Amino acid sequence: QKEVEQNSGPLSVPEGAIASLNCTYSDRGSQSFFWYRQYSGKSPELIMFIYSNGDKEDGRFTAQLNKASQYVSLLIRDSQPSDSATYLCAVKSNFGNEKLTFGTGTRLTIIP
């Protein structure tokens, strides 16, 4: 079992709709969770992070964490064509460990 799993997609969503990206992780000791966006040929850029159960909102983005189910998701409201990218979920294991483990990413395409 992979440490961090994501559906590779592609996920196609109409412009203006909500895009829902999912991620599961295997290490129950994981403490914090990050979502990165990566455009083709570019470096990953941080969208947001979450470490408490529940929802965290930042503009059009909402991260949702359920530690009991070992599940983290990213919702993008009012999807725009500029949101088309690969979204990477990353998990930090526990305190005292600098390692950030990434999933394979989900390729999202917003259809105008």
Partner 1 sequence: DTAVSQTPKYLVTQMGNDKSIKCEQNLGHDTMYWYKQDSKKFLKIMFSYNNKELIINETVPNRFSPKSPDKAHLNLHINSLELGDSAVYFCASSQEGRRRDSPLHFGNGTRLTVT
The answer to whether residues 90 and 102 touch, using CB atoms and an 8 Å cutoff, is yes
Cβ at position 43, least distance to partner 1 in Å: 4
Site for partner 1, rule CB under 8 A: 31-32, 34, 38, 42-46, 49, 51, 86, 88, 90, 92, 95-102, 104-105
Query: Among residues 8 and 14, whose Cβ is nearest to partner 1?
Result: 8
Cβ at position 15, least distance to partner 1 in Å: 24
Cβ at position 38, least distance to partner 1 in Å: 7
Measured from the Cβ of residue 40, the count of other Cβ atoms closer than 10 Å reads 8
The b-or-e profile of 73-101 (16+ CB within 10 A means b, else e) is bbbbeebeeebbbbbbbbbbbeeeeeeeb
